[in-house]
Chain A
């Protein structure tokens, strides 16, 4: 009896150790199936947003740089705005994140950010100004547009490309398979997401 107790203790300890070491060896960034990194970033209106504010809601993150041809493809083709409209109407939080450092492509002052959004007809929940790139690096956001989906429990469900056409041509929007739409459809129907990670495409995020 004593022996079994000792044995189970050892097993429990080694399992814990194993868990610890595997999570430790994981590279920085957001990993599907794990808690998404928290953030506290001010938006273009001056309001602070944290991931914990959106507990109980799906959150979609979109890395944004209006100077990037790949981003322009999705805005000029009205694709991104439609997605924003579609999901915010369903109570999903849509956060556009700008991690461009001042002086680099895509960086805008808050006022200009709001004005551009209005001109483009963009309707995200908020546009976060991650000026020092803290949030972008925490998520290991690499390109614009790089897309993430976080579930109501704060667990990452998707990390990757917006669709399967890695081009900057607006005409490629037609017939493209949109991974965000596919993942959100599965999630809202209570099904598992088919493609949870893939390589995002676009311009590199212009960190400082």
Chain B
């Protein structure tokens, strides 16, 4: 009997003991809150992670460190007596919550973990338990706000051994770590201020840029920027520029941009890093940032690219038009210097310098072209479909050239041949330049590729790449002139060189296929087909160019044939990229989720025509970067009732996409006294003035508005 009681008692104790190890969630009106630890056991003097985990009532939210225009973040006060050091809350990337016109909150819905790093005191006794006690206060809001608080406890067992992890909590902590802003060493920040606000510039030396459909800067502290103001941003090459409006309550200029920048598409290649940390004092181009940027230049990835550039430069020497020069030149050096090894070597270096300088000159030309192009508003990025189409054309044409369908730069050879380079060192230097020019017919395809890559990169990076190409090309001369004995290992010039050149066309065709795939992602199957037809036209143009060479025909037939060629090539490009200037906004509609609605793109003419014809018209002023717009669209058009109602009333659905700041749409917005999206307008013959719907839509609001229209329509029908 006693035995049995003891047994029961021990079970009960075990139960109590187990219970104590766990923390107790506290339930308040709108949240369930719990203090949790990543580890079940802790070691004296070691750090571990704890956190306040909150599960919120649906539709309610709690705040970020900087709550925005109203609200209050979670506050935790520690009440335990043991000297546990507990760090600041690690705030996950918040959401932008529009609360009213021009006002915004920053916070979290559903479920959130506020992590903190804790350090156990050294004098904890293994085998003993310790309890962390916290008083947590927070404000939880929907339309109205309610302050809540909870006394939280967490008991932990101290051990000398390796700590035990709580698998469930471990997963939750890791999930939250993905949402914390991080420092990426290949992004650097810079800021300038003016009376109205600040401009935050983020630039990178990364080679593959993520997408940037939506960028938001969240200030870590209140009072610098206007929380609710839209943050227009632009992407230009490797720089993102974000315009921030100064807080109404800030006297003087913005002092510091400290917080995180959220990118909906992620900052890294995998798209897993949601936000990066920024901390810049405007005007002060922080030294740390530029150090970081220059370090990035020597990253493993960049070194790999440089390796390929060097190899590419060396391969240039194997091209039929260059290879014979190589041995002749080195022989030449030896003759000139009369077997004086030192002089031969010097000639080699000087020749190499000539090659290198030609390449740098080319790079400089390219940088100027790029700067000029940016002035003209050309976007040299893979995000721009027109640029991808252009690159595809370039790759395909260069491939054809390598195949021997046509040759580039024949006239350059003629010029080069006539130039007398002179004797001695000066002669070697200029023959270095000459060799580069002579090589053009064979190197152009490679150079084209390099140019294509370099044009998307920052100036310094492209300079380095080109210099490496030049070094690669000059290397064999320098090497052979230094060690003439190596000459006997050189392959003999011959037919193999032509074969090699032609074979090099295939990597270019492969690149073209990749670009076509990228283009297809953006423009769909129809756009892809247009691009292929464009390439067909390009090849016809090139064929004509070669079949009837300029020297073989004369006078008018030359002009006519060249005009036909131009029509084919330019026309082909134009055909593949219809309306280069406006295609982006057009694309937006096909690529964005249309929720099965037949959207028509906005134009003043379209609108007027539909009003004149007496149609019911719904206009959705929206933009890809506007979350509210996207949220509204999802809420409204996922409802079949709303969609059917629109259909029943024969609505013409117009989408005014303001993603690219279309001036026509800007004017239309201004005519409604707005300077931003979202805006929803209904025109109907049954109402005199256009009806403006609220900025935050629900199916109910839209259905009510549509009911009004249908009632009015009934009335007018029965009246007549």
A residues neighboring B (CB under 8 Å):
27, 29, 32, 67-70, 104-105, 140, 142-143, 159-160, 166-169, 196-204, 206-207
Contacts and interface: CB of A to CB of B under 8 A. Distances in A.
A29 B248 contact: yes
Interface string B78-105: 0000000000000000000001100100
Interface in B194-230: 222-223
A207 B100 contact: yes
B248 A167 contact: no
B249 interface: yes
Contacts of B100: 204, 207
B174 interface: no
Given A168-B147, A199-B249, 15 more contacts: A69-B146, A142-B69, A160-B249, A167-B72, A167-B137, A168-B137, A168-B139, A168-B145, A169-B149, A199-B223, A201-B72, A203-B145, A204-B69, A204-B99, A207-B100
Interface string B563-581: 0000000000000000000
Interface in B135-166: 137, 139, 143-147, 149
Contact of A167 (B75, B144, B249): B75
Contacts of B247: 199
Nearest to B144: A105
B70 interface: yes
A67 B248 contact: no
A143 B70 contact: yes
B55 to A, nearest CB: 21
Nearest to A31: B248
24 contacts: A32-B251, A68-B144, A69-B139, A69-B147, A104-B143, A140-B248, A142-B69, A143-B70, A159-B249, A166-B67, A166-B222, A167-B72, A168-B72, A168-B137, A168-B139, A169-B147, A197-B248, A199-B247, A200-B249, A201-B70, A201-B72, A203-B144, A203-B145, A206-B143
A61 to B, nearest CB: 15
Secondary structure dominating the interface of B? loop
Q: Which 5 A-B pairs have the closest CB atoms?
A: A168-B147, A69-B147, A199-B223, A199-B249, A204-B70
Contacts of B70: 142-143, 201-204
Interface string B227-267: 00000000000000000000111110000000000000000
Interface of B: 67, 69-72, 75, 99-100, 103, 137, 139, 143-147, 149, 222-223, 247-251
Contact of B145 (A68, A196, A197): A68
Nearest to B221: A199
Contacts, number: 63
Contacts of A104: 143
B97 to A, nearest CB: 11
A196 B251 CA distance: 8
Contacts of A29: 248
Contacts of B99: 204
A199 B103 CA distance: 13
Max chain A C-beta neighbours (<10 A), residue from B72, B99, B103: B72
A204 B139 contact: no
Nearest to B226: A27
B387 to A, nearest CB: 38
A197 B72 contact: no
B361 to A, nearest CB: 48
A68 B145 CA distance: 7
A160 B251 CA distance: 12
Max chain A C-beta neighbours (<10 A), residue from B67, B69, B70, B250: B70
A192 to B, nearest CB: 13
A198 B248 contact: no
Nearest to A165: B72
A143 B72 contact: no
A142 B103 contact: yes
A94 B505 CA distance: 84
B256 to A, nearest CB: 15
B146 A198 contact: no
Contacts of A197: 248-251
A42 to B, nearest CB: 24
Nearest to A204: B70
Contacts of B249: 159-160, 197-200
Nearest to B149: A169
B137 A169 contact: yes
A159 B75 CA distance: 27
Nearest to B70: A204
A106 to B, nearest CB: 9
Max chain B C-beta neighbours (<10 A), residue from A70, A142, A196: A142
A140 B101 CA distance: 11
B21 to A, nearest CB: 31
Contact of A67 (B69, B139, B144, B251): B144
A159 B248 CA distance: 10
A169 B77 CA distance: 13
Contacts of B146: 69
Contact of A69 (B103, B143, B145, B222): B145
A140 B145 CA distance: 21
A130 B147 CA distance: 26
Nearest to A27: B248
Given A198-B249, A204-B103, A166 B72 contact: yes
A142 B70 CA distance: 8
Nearest to A142: B69
Max chain A C-beta neighbours (<10 A), residue from B75, B100, B147, B251: B147
B461 to A, nearest CB: 40
Contacts of B251: 32, 196-197
Contacts of B103: 142, 204
Contacts of A70: 72
A126 to B, nearest CB: 25
Nearest to A169: B137
A143 B139 contact: no
Contacts of A199: 222-223, 247, 249
Contacts of A140: 248
B143 A105 contact: yes
A143 B103 CA distance: 10
Contacts of B75: 167, 169
Contacts of A196: 251
A206 B71 CA distance: 14
A13 B251 CA distance: 28
Contacts of B147: 69, 168-169
A197 B147 CA distance: 26
A36 to B, nearest CB: 15
Contacts of B145: 68-69, 168, 203
Max chain B C-beta neighbours (<10 A), residue from A29, A140, A203: A203
A129 B99 CA distance: 23
Max chain B C-beta neighbours (<10 A), residue from A29, A160, A199, A202: A199
A207 B695 CA distance: 14
Nearest to A167: B72
Contacts of B72: 70, 166-168, 201
Nearest to B139: A168
A94 B69 CA distance: 25
Nearest to A198: B249
Contacts of B144: 67-68, 105, 203
Contacts of A201: 70, 72
Contacts of B67: 166
A197 B223 CA distance: 10
B246 to A, nearest CB: 10
A202 B67 CA distance: 10
Contacts of A203: 70-71, 144-145
A202 B248 CA distance: 16
Max chain B C-beta neighbours (<10 A), residue from A27, A168, A198, A200: A168
B149 to A, nearest CB: 8
A105 B143 CA distance: 9
B143 to A, nearest CB: 7
Nearest to B247: A199
B99 to A, nearest CB: 5
Contacts of B250: 197
A100 to B, nearest CB: 11
A167 B103 CA distance: 19
